[in-house]
Chains A and B, each alone.
Chain A
Amino acid sequence: MLKVTNLHVGIDGKEILKGLDFAAAAGEVHAIMGPNGSGKSTFAQVLAGREDYQVTAGSVVFDGQDLFEMAAEERARAGLFLAFQYPVEIPGVSNTYFLKAALNSILKSRGERELDAMEFLKLVRDRVKLVELDESLLKRPVNEGFSGGEKKRNEIFQMAVLEPKLAILDETDSGLDIDALRVVAKGVNSLRNEERTFVVITHYQRLLEYIVPDFVHVMVDGRIVRSGGKELALELEERGYAFIEQEVAVG
């Protein structure tokens, strides 16, 4: 589904990702953990197509296609979804309107029939339950005046409507209380299936108690330095990131 080879990425002349290798197959859930500033969010943004970054070396193949040949919207249409760490507020554009435009542009690009208003409403009503989001928020402008938890649930709600092949969750857990975290995790878990791949980026092990990953990776200074099963997250929780950073420094 996703294969990243020797990825080097910088911004304003400063290198952030320094030879990152990563691979995830269909149906797998991967967690990427790491200390602040290790490049986790940069990785997520580059995958989604943010143009502020310069890719200086390496390749990313997504579902058989060269990701860097695709514009941000083409990646979305091909089935890549990023749940933003900081969802953007868009005054004047209603959540429903935005999501309908997004879904229909994706369907259209695949040569599928676009949904009419009634079909869309039915889909939305069904999916909004997954994240226990108040339906009144759908009529409001995108993320405007939403609480932190509502913004994150709105991201998962969008994911549930757009049904991506690859979902990248960038610190979706940060700033959430335990109840909101459960709701978000429940939404994600209900979307898990054999075809869909998740990359869950997080700073804390806490989220992984609810979204149990198949693989855990540790990112330090722009590279994956350690990979393992879900028990690696527990080890990190107990010992902190420092021991890995030391290992990297020594090794």
Chain B
Amino acid sequence: MTPSETATLTAVPTLTAPRDPRVAAYAEHFERRVASLPGEGSVRELRRSAIERFCELGFPTLKMEEWRHTNIAAVVRGDFLPAPEHAAVTASDLEPWLLEGCRHAVFVDGRFRPELSALGEPGDDAGAMVGSLATALSGADQGLVSRHLGRHLGFDDHPFRALNTALFEDGALVRLRRARVASEVVPELAPKPLQLLFLATADATAARMNFPRTLIVAEPASQATIIETYATLGAGVTFTCPMTELVAGKGSVVRHYRVQAESTEALHLAAFASYFERDASYTGLVISHGGGLVRLDLHAILDGEGVDFRLDGLYVLGGRQLADHHLRVEHKQPHCGSHELFKGILDDQARGVFSGRIYVHRAAQKTDAVQTNRNLLLSPEALVNSNPQLEIFADDVKCTHGSTTGQIDADAVFYLRSRGLSADAARSLLTFAFAAELVERIAVPALRRQVEEVLYDRLPGGELVRAAQ
């Protein structure tokens, strides 16, 4: 948006006019759109307090601790227009990203597109029901959504969670039902994984923005696998500001993958907020190989005893890509485990940022937490800022963290060469192996193959590794 669009802002009495005209432009955009945005009553109030909070917080700057390695000037200065209502997208456009053996819900510029989605046969959705969040807000699920949306993890300290909450037009509501006993005994009867594909359409003549919102409510004892894929269609700058919330009920079991596969022109500032009740189990993997500027804020609150939380990450970056993963895990109750392993492979002038914080509240005795970040630099110009941290207020816990950044092990290269592999093949094999530890954990075969293909394409000498498979 251009600053000139802010002319009518002073007419809005509920807002304190922000000093920064670029912030004010979003506030003005909000006022123009709010009446047509889905959700009334408490949801609309939530939106209003969110835009107010965004105006107070403003855009983060490099002077702020949480943002000091990530320059988002391209977002601040960008003149983004909302993507058109119904961008023309055909089934063949989706092919590169759709995963075999999964059900698909497709969102174009943040809006649900049922005609592009394949949600399976009726009854096939046992375990995971998915639909448009906007539809849910005007229908029977209104109560469910307003009970959870933005309620467990607010937007007080996070401008882009606030911005998404204020401006989202649509997205996904995923409701996980109690697991069928049969699926636990007979794996073939287990529901298929659910893929949420978020496509941002790009236009070379005008930068576009979209704000997809996803709410996943895992009911007690439910079980499902969910994959979020973010991708770009066409050439041009896009600003995607998505937010996904997971509310995991007692004893629920959620497997979650998040794939960043957008174009290198994409600006992507995203939040994943998760909230866990007693004995919930979560296994997540974030894969970031796309996007030009990517920031992910991953925040988990373990608010019941016996929660088992594992969130891993793999970022593979080249060119001038920047990916920033900010992770915060809050242990609020005793006997919870959290494990995070984030690995980065960086080539060219790519930049990676990892900031992880495990926060153990006083009550969270017997916490078992391990956080590790490992980076492999393939180029002398690649750079990583890694900062794992612990804040512990309980006295009977086991917490460790660590970080390493280095090049390919020269001893290993020599060992492989001494067996006849070329220097290039040895290096690419070792690079692939660095990622393999995480790739092997992908429990959805089609996704594992897709990620392997990305690695073959992206890593130097990847075709040598592919050929040797």
Contacts and interface: CB of A to CB of B under 8 A. Distances in A.
Interface stretch (A16-24, A28-36, A76-84, A212-220): A76-84
A72 B433 contact: no
A98 B430 CA distance: 10
A50, A98, A104, A162: residue with the most chain B Cβ atoms closer than 10 Å: A98
Contact of B432 (A51, A92, A102): A92
Interface string A67-87: 000011101110001101001
A49 B417 contact: yes
Interface string B398-421: 000000000001011011111111
B423 interface: yes
10 contacts: A48-B414, A49-B414, A72-B414, A76-B418, A90-B415, A90-B430, A92-B434, A97-B468, A105-B425, A141-B433
Contacts of B412: 88, 90
B421 A87 contact: no
A58 interface: no
A109 B421 CA distance: 10
Interface in B426-469: 426, 429-430, 432-437, 468-469
B422 interface: yes
Contacts of A81: 418
B420 A87 contact: no
Contact of B429 (A49, A77, A101): A101
A100 B418 contact: no
A91 B414 CA distance: 15
A92 B433 contact: yes
Interface residues of B, number: 25
A150 to B, nearest CB: 16
Interface residues of A, number: 33
A26 interface: no
A75 B416 CA distance: 12
Contacts, number: 80
Contacts of B433: 90-93, 141
Contacts of B436: 92-93
A102 B421 contact: yes
B343 to A, nearest CB: 10
Contact of A90 (B416, B417, B420): B416
A106 interface: yes
A197 interface: no
Contact of A49 (B418, B421, B434): B418
Contacts of B411: 88
A101 to B, nearest CB: 4
Given A91-B437, A92-B432, A84 B415 contact: yes
Question: Which residue of A82, A100, A101 has the most chain B CB atoms within 10 A of its CB atom?
Answer: A101
Contacts of A77: 420
Contacts of B417: 49, 71-73, 76
Interface of A: 48-51, 71-73, 75-77, 81-82, 84, 87-88, 90-93, 97-106, 109, 141, 158, 162
Contact of B419 (A91, A97, A98): A98
Contacts of A72: 414, 417-418
A12 B420 CA distance: 27
Interface in B367-426: 409, 411-412, 414-423, 425-426
B244 to A, nearest CB: 30
Given A88-B412, A92-B432, A93-B430, A109 B418 contact: no
A76 B420 contact: yes
Contacts of A141: 433
A161 B404 CA distance: 36
A99 B468 CA distance: 11
Interface string B266-304: 000000000000000000000000000000000000000
Nearest to B418: A48
A100 B425 CA distance: 13
Contact of A93 (B414, B418, B423, B429): B429
A105 B469 CA distance: 13
Contacts of A105: 420-422, 425
A51 B411 CA distance: 11
Q: Ordered nearest first, which 4 A-B pairs have the shortest CB separation?
A: A92-B433, A102-B419, A76-B420, A92-B436
A77 B185 CA distance: 51
Nearest to B429: A93
A84 B412 CA distance: 12
A97 B467 CA distance: 12
Contacts of B432: 92
Nearest to A143: B415
A100 B469 CA distance: 9
A11 B362 CA distance: 55
A48 B415 CA distance: 10
B420 A158 contact: no
Contacts of A48: 414, 418
Contacts of B422: 73, 105
Contacts of A104: 468
Contacts of B423: 71, 73
A12 B422 CA distance: 26
B418 A82 contact: yes
A142 B32 CA distance: 62
B420 A73 contact: yes
Given A90-B412, A104-B468, A109 B420 contact: yes
Contacts of A93: 429-430, 433, 436
Contacts of B409: 88
A169 to B, nearest CB: 13
